[in-house]
Amino acid sequence: MLGKQGWRLLTRPDSLCTRVIKGKYSPHGNFLSATRRKRSSETWHALLHGRDVLRRGLIKRVGPGNSINIWNDNWIPGALKLKPLLRQEHVIVEQVDELFIQGTRRWNEDLVRDSFVPWDAEEILKIKAGVRMVEDTVAWNYERTGIYSVRSAYRLLKADERQKEASAGNKSGSSYADGIWNKLWKLKIPPKIRIFWWRAVNNFLPTKRELKRRHVEQEDFCETCGEEGETLFHVAFKCPLARRFWQSAKDLVGIKIPALHPATWTRDLLSPDKVLNTDAAMIICGVWSLWAGRNARKHGRVSWNSGAAVRHISKMLEDLVCSSTTQEVRPDPLRRR
């Protein structure tokens, strides 16, 4: 009901009601960015409450893209929170129009794939920017018409509440993705390796087995040892090169690989009851290095040496552990800050 009035404030800026309320409470600003003031009326408070619901479900429809902030605005209909799940360090794009091929409203697919984690990239590439739209417009995401309705807002609130209750009750409550992310966050590993592992857990890495499954490649043998069905598990532990690597790791830092199951090992490594966190960090960094080495070889760069790789990784972990007194701000990909 009050969301409805907020909706009117946004979409019918010239109506009398809008002008009265705006004139009184936020003469210069936008309703969505107005703050709660000490001495404002009940109506205004209630409107602001309705606004929170609105803010949750409002989405910008992409036209020119020049008014949409990639990281702060809601603009991806298929994303859980309507915006990218996480931002990788190397990414510098800020506005949606920077993702277009210059002079068009078509996505620069390479740039999109390079700037976002795979599931965000997929959802972005599904969006069709309005070619005739003069500006980006605001719509309500939870009705097909794009027009706010009390019914859908109520449904949204209910769903939020259920999720909140579930995660308060914890146990099975927090979502699968949430749980993985939390565990991953506890490990002291560099952010890029965290993202690498997230991909590994979700089976997003282009191993040859995976590429063959998707009919991208015909063959799936390991290019290092020739064994058929190259999986990350093979690259990480079974390939002769990997065995040599872990032997050096054992000699140099004393780490031993626990028994791991090929189907569940990427998740098992994140379970403190199965593997110590420090061991898990080392193993994950090791697998990352093996994967990076495998890619380098695939692209013709061959200098990869198992002993040097182990030294590099243990130094990296040492640095991380030593610098961990400075507090890291935890980005929460699944919830609003």
- Cα–Cα distance measured from residue 9 to residue 169, given in angstroms and rounded to the nearest whole number: 38
User: Count residues contacting Zn ion (CB under 5 A)?
Assistant: 4
Cβ distance to Zn ion smaller for residue 206 or 272: 206
CB of 55 vs Zn ion, minimal distance in Å: 51
Tell me the C-alpha to C-alpha distance, in Å, between residue 276 and each of 10, 40, 283, 285. 52, 54, 10, 14
Minimum CB separation of residue 299 from Zn ion in Å reads: 17
- The number of beta carbons lying within 10 Å of the beta carbon of residue 116 is 25
The answer to whether residue 243 forms part of the interface with Zn ion (CB under 5 A) is no
**Out of 5, 224, 248, 306, the residue judged to bind Zn ion by CB under 5 A:** 224
Q: Find the shortest distance in angstroms from Cβ 295 to Zn ion.
A: 14
d(Cα 131, Cα 63) in Å, to the nearest integer?
6
| Residues between 30 and 59 that touch Zn ion (CB under 5 A) | none
Nearer to Zn ion, 79 or 222 (CB): 222
Query: Least distance from C-beta 159 to Zn ion, angstroms?
Result: 46
Amino acid at 52: D
The reply to whether 232 sits near Zn ion by the rule CB under 5 A is no
Element (H, E) at 57: helix 42-57
| Interhelix angle 150-169/2-11, nearest 10 degrees | 120
Closer of 135 and 227 to Zn ion (Cβ): 227
Q: Could you tell me the end-to-end alpha-carbon distance of the chain, in angstroms, rounded to an integer? A: 26
Nearer to Zn ion, 53 or 236 (CB): 236
**What secondary structure letter does DSSP report for 61?**
E
Closest approach of Zn ion to the CB of residue 242, in Å: 8
Which window, 103-111, 184-192, 231-239, 266-274, contacts Zn ion (CB under 5 A)? 231-239
Which of the ranges 162-170, 236-244, 267-275, 310-318 carries the binding residues for Zn ion, by CB under 5 A?
236-244
Residue from 239, 255, 280, 284 binding Zn ion (CB under 5 A): 239
Q: Is 222 in the site for Zn ion (CB under 5 A)?
A: yes
- Shortest distance (Å) from residue 235 CB to Zn ion: 7
Cα angle: 297, vertex 303, 305; to 5 degrees: 105
Shortest gap between Cβ of 247 and Zn ion (angstroms)?
A: 15
**Interface mask toward Zn ion for 177-216; x: CB under 5 A:** ----------------------------------------
Report the nearest approach of Zn ion to the CB of residue 222 (Å): 3
Whose CA is closest to 124, among 203, 192, 88, 70?
70
Question: Are the beta carbons of 267 and 244 closer than 8 angstroms?
Answer: no
Q: Assign 237 to helix, strand or coil.
A: helix
Residue 188 phi/psi, 5° resolution?
A: -85, 85
Return the SS3 of 127: coil
Among 17, 20, 131, 225, the residue binding Zn ion under the rule CB under 5 A is: 225
Q: How far apart are CA 198 and CA 189, in angstroms?
A: 12
Q: Is 121 left (phi over 0), alpha (psi -120 to 50) or beta?
A: alpha
Contact range with Zn ion by CB under 5 A, out of 8-16, 97-105, 118-126, 239-247: 239-247
Q: Which residues are near Zn ion by CB under 5 A?
A: 222, 224-225, 239
